[in-house]
Structure 1
Amino acid sequence: MADGPTEITKASEAPRARRGPSPEKTAQTRRVIVDAALGEFLEKGYADTTMDGVAKRAGVAKGTPYRYFPAKEALFEAVVREKIAGAVIDADPANRRPDETVSTFLRRTMLGSIREIERNGRAAIARLVLVEGARFPEMTDIYRRVMFEPLLNQIRTLAATARSTGELRHVELEKYPHLLIAPIWFAIIHNGLLDRDHPLDIGDLFEANLDLFFDAR
């Protein structure tokens, strides 16, 4: 009997377990870190971007980025996957409507984002890979695995569909899907490295290339 009140008092004085951040708060913090990383990569390049710099830009504690990303490579992959690879998601052949031609599908899903490629940072990240990829092969591997190869595979699948329906003018596209996006890469290099004063319209180049490969229907 004598021990009862003491046990109750001790129980009432025991520290309450702290609740962790909500899933919404966790997701928001992660988004802020990825946004900050994109800004750091574009402003400072891959070599000079640091996790501390990302944390400062994001307005979080120095250790916070490491809770989400173990190293800069993982953070760069998140940037490519979430900020750059939208074209891969958009051009998924599974999203093509049954009555939609391949060329119409590519215009609907890719052309808009390609026209925005300079404004949204996708072109700058591609140039960053070109410029720094030889020194940091992990960059090239991430970009190839997350962005480049999936897009090529989707174009190859779409080219095969277009060939089967008689829409494809040049069957070489099925073997070399690189041909469809080659003008995009040329314009990215031209606009950022070769002639910044006279930029090419990347969307117009891509659309002209579509007309070369597909019959208008």
Structure 2
Amino acid sequence: MSEQSRRPPAPRTRGPSPDKTARTRTLIVEAALDVFLARGFAQATMADVARQSGLAKGTPYHYFASKEALFEGVVQDLVVGALFHEQPPAFLEDETLEAFFRRTLLPLIRGIEQSRRVAVMRLVMTEGMRFPALADVYRREVFAPMNAHIRKVARQAVARGEQRAAVLARHPHLLMAPVWMGAIHNTLLRCTPEASIGRLFEEQLHALLGAGPR
């Protein structure tokens, strides 16, 4: 028997658990947004993100190959995961388009100010001109899917006889315009008092689809 065959088998090393991996990824993503907002995308480094998250210098690279990939992770985890985490809801029987959006979208928009989604929007607005890849990620992952969803259900509402829904079938951007206006008002211009993004969205929803005065 050779010396090599007499050696005991090397102990198996266990990788990190899925839960620990997910927690570490979340830690990196949250830290990345903090660093991007504080330093700007150009000046931010992966080492900054590691330091902000309290991890070893090379750890972020185990999850994201580059700073651009890390920004995509920010968008996926903090925005896409909140907005598109399940199958798009369907109309309930005899539900109007206004009622549908009140049920499905309004709760998400009302919660936007307590989440970090507005901070991601601010980053896209401030850095997207200098770094088109950031705007491309947001458009592909968030902006375009949301508009496509609004247009699709608006067309369904028109087919069901809601002629007021035709404006959103043509211009789905109008429904989400108050969200961007509120983000500009509150974060870029820092106007006071701050605007309630949820309230702006609700007023726009009624103006476009409501049956009469509030």
Find the counterpart in structure 1 of residue 60 from structure 2: 65
Relative distance call for 1:174 and 1:91 in structure 2 (3 A) is farther
1:49 to 44, 47, 59: 44
- Measured in 1, the distance between the counterparts of 2:170 and 2:47 equals 44
TM-score (norm 1): 0.85
- Measured in 2, the distance between the counterparts of 1:91 and 1:212 equals 28
Structure 1 position 7, deviation (Å): 6.7
CA contact (8 A) 1:167 1:215 kept: no
Find the counterpart in structure 2 of residue 153 from structure 1: 148
Relative distance call for 1:23 and 1:90 in structure 2 (3 A) is closer
- Measured in 2, the distance between the counterparts of 1:192 and 1:23 equals 36
1:123 to 118, 129, 133: 118
- 1:166-212 deviation per Cα after TM superposition (whole angstroms, max 9, x unaligned): 33415221111011111111111111223422211111111111112
1:96 to 90, 101, 112: 90
Structure 1 runs, 4 residues or longer, greater than 3 Å off = none
CA contact (8 A) 1:91 1:151 kept: no
- Measured in 2, the distance between the counterparts of 1:25 and 1:37 equals 18
Question: Which protein is bigger by CA-based radius of gyration?
Answer: 1
- 1:87-134 deviation per Cα after TM superposition (whole angstroms, max 9, x unaligned): 641696x31243243322222222122123233121122122111111
The reply on whether 1:197 has 2:163 as its aligned counterpart is: no
Find the counterpart in structure 1 of residue 167 from structure 2: 172
Q: Report the count of equivalent residues.
A: 211
Give the aligned CA root-mean-square deviation in angstroms. Answer: 2.4
Q: Secondary structure at the match of 2:114?
A: coil
Q: Secondary structure at the match of 2:194?
A: coil
Residue 55 of structure 1 aligns to which amino acid in structure 2?
A
- Measured in 2, the distance between the counterparts of 1:155 and 1:110 equals 10
- Measured in 2, the distance between the counterparts of 1:44 and 1:118 equals 22
What's the % identity of the aligned pairs? 45
Structure 1 position 42, deviation (Å): 3.1
Residue 175 of structure 1 aligns to which amino acid in structure 2?
R
TM-score (norm 2): 0.86
